[in-house]
Amino acid sequence: MTTHTTEALVIGAGVTGLTTALCLAEAGHTVRIRTAALPQETTSRAAGAMWGSTFAGPTDKVGAWASASLAAFRELARDPGSGVAIVSGTLASATGTAPPPQAFPGVEVLRTEPPAGYAAGFRVTLPFIDMPRYLDHLAARIEAAGIPMDLRPVESLAEAAGEAPVVVNCAGVGARDLVPDPALRAVRGQHVVVENPGLDEFFMTEPFGPAWTSLFPHGERLILGSIAQEDDWDTAPRTEDAEAILERVAAVEPRVRDARILEHQVGLRPMRDVVRVEAQTLDGARLVHNYGHGGTGVGLSWGCAREVAALVAE
């Protein structure tokens, strides 16, 4: 592998794009970002967000990406202004099977007394990321690194390749049309954000199927969820989804029933059977893709970004 510096254009300003831009700048490249939406307007803002791996492929890569991100988030948790905190809580299972080890590489998962109505419970301590604060933290680092952010959508990858010798595609669900990539699909998620009545531990059931129960504390806010609605591109909150989420969470933690609702969040997870982090050549430019993380874009962000930097250096 050779080391050289060059100009890199990153497409997208969600957590994947911002993290990738920072890793490229730290590797010595001149970086700029083009985006259709500012960080606080991206799907990343609606993420829960809990660190973890993914059930998607490639199976020989995701564990290392998650482990690299775990180390980064543990370090970030030392900075109270980052929006990252280490939180303990319960994973509840209806079947009694243990969480797959690939979901939490490098983290101890301990059996505990199952909550009422569940077959098994597991105690675990993980990084949690308060996304509005964390996106501000990343954006401040982007500004400090002198990385310009151009609020101007990229119409085609060929257009981007004409602007820079290195292009990194972090377009999230936008990659479906931009690449184009019909294997990428939108999976709609919705959260209810309420005032925290004093909870400092998380709770989550198995995130399978169209709905599950999650309660994520972020200081004075609680993020309640969640749903997964396949091929649904509607970004407007739905009353019926919000009511179902509140009912499920209140059955586990009754204190949320009277909590004041602060906002409703909707995001489109960029779902793909295999996360795409790979390089190709387009019109003489080095094109690197970094998208398709589904609901684990945050949890894999640092590992994937560092692989992108390595691919650029090849």
122, 91 in Cβ contact below 8 A?
yes
pLDDT at 1: 38
* Number of residues that make up the chain: 314
Report the alpha-carbon distance of residue 120 to residue 109 in Å, rounded.
12
Reply yes or no on whether the pLDDT at 202 is more than 60.
Answer: yes
Domain of 274, in residue numbers: 7-313
Average pLDDT score over residue span 194-198:
98
Report the alpha-carbon distance of residue 14 to residue 300 in Å, rounded.
13
Report the alpha-carbon distance of residue 288 to residue 170 in Å, rounded.
9
Report the alpha-carbon distance of residue 124 to residue 111 in Å, rounded.
9
What is the C-alpha radius of gyration for the chain, rounded to an integer number of angstroms? 19
Residue with tokens 């030392």: 78
Reply yes or no on whether the pLDDT at 100 is more than 80.
Answer: no
SS3 312: helix
pLDDT at 220: 97
Quick check: is 2 in a domain? Answer: no
User: How many domains, the chain?
Assistant: 1
Quick check: is 272 in a domain? Answer: yes
Tell me 50's DSSP state: B
Reply yes or no on whether the pLDDT at 72 is more than 50.
Answer: yes
Quick check: is 155 in a domain? Answer: yes
Report the alpha-carbon distance of residue 132 to residue 147 in Å, rounded.
20
The pLDDT tens digits of the residues spanning 256-306 come to 999 999 999 999 999 999 999 999 999 999 999 999 999 999 999 999 999
Percentage, residues of the chain above pLDDT 70? 97
Domain CATH code at residue 142:
3.40.50.720
Task: Give 41's contacts (C-beta < 8 A, 6+ positions apart).
Answer: none
Report the alpha-carbon distance of residue 124 to residue 156 in Å, rounded.
43
Sign of CA dihedral 72, 74, 80, 82: positive
Average pLDDT score over residue span 192-221:
96
Reply yes or no on whether the pLDDT at 2 is more than 50.
Answer: no
Predicted confidence band at 99 (pLDDT cuts at 50, 70, 90)? Answer: confident
Quick check: is 208 in a domain? Answer: yes
CA nearest neighbour of 214 among 241, 252, 183 = 252
Quick check: is 50 in a domain? Answer: yes
Report the alpha-carbon distance of residue 168 to residue 35 in Å, rounded.
12
The pLDDT tens digits of the residues spanning 108-145 come to 999 999 988 899 999 999 999 999 999 999 999 999 99
Quick check: is 1 in a domain? Answer: no
pLDDT at 4: 61
Predicted confidence band at 101 (pLDDT cuts at 50, 70, 90)? Answer: low
CA nearest neighbour of 299 among 269, 266, 261 = 269
The pLDDT tens digits of the residues spanning 4-32 come to 668 999 999 999 999 999 999 999 999 99
For the purposes of burial, counting CB atoms within 10 Å of the CB of 276, is it exposed (0-12), middle (13-18) or buried (19 or more)? buried
Average pLDDT score over residue span 216-245:
98
237, 192 in Cβ contact below 8 A?
no
Quick check: is 135 in a domain? Answer: yes
Angle subtended by helix axes 15-26 and 301-313, to nearest 10:
50
